[in-house]
Amino acid sequence: MHLIENLQEVRRDGQIIDESMSRDDILRLGQPQKIVELCWTHDSRVHAFKFHHGVIAQAVALEMLAEDSHQTALWVITADGQHRTRVQEPDKFRNHQVTGNYYYLTTPNMDQPNVFGVIFDDQANNLQFQLDINAENCQILAEYYIR
């Protein structure tokens, strides 16, 4: 596991949220803004990634970004910033065709290293389910029905 240090989230208004800030510190920044840049240090090198449409970063180096107004993509970025892999969207859930978007990151149901959870939302079929994903190879390990 590679260590990421000094994680900073840069808001659209330019204000920075860093890992030392408390919830109250963040609330004092005013109205919530989209996060449009992530910065961190790894091996004494600074890495920065900008996302024009915004990111949701609930776990270090996992981002969900809106590629346009209707689509989201989920990316895993290695600590050294050198490798960026897109997690493919599922096309089936319990033998039903699905189309939708990654909704938000969550705690995985599987208790294994390098695994994260994400909620996938298929509004057309009124389905929502959680996927547990291996961060090293971006493979879906398990699916759990929510609604």
Q: Could you state, in order of their start, the residue ranges of all structural domains in the chain? A: 1-81, 88-147
Predicted confidence (pLDDT) per residue in 35-90, tens digit? 888 888 888 888 888 877 666 544 434 444 444 445 567 777 776 776 677 787 78
* Structure-token pair, residue 146: 């929510």
The position carrying tokens 């969900």 is 64
The position carrying tokens 């929510």 is 146
How far apart are alpha carbons 4 and 2 in whole angstroms?
A: 7
| Average pLDDT value for residue range 127-142 | 88
pTM exceeds 0.85:
no
Phi-psi region of 52 (alpha: psi -120 to 50; beta: other; left: phi over 0): alpha
Give the Å distances, CA to CA, from 59 to 2, 20, 78, 94, 147: 14, 15, 12, 28, 24
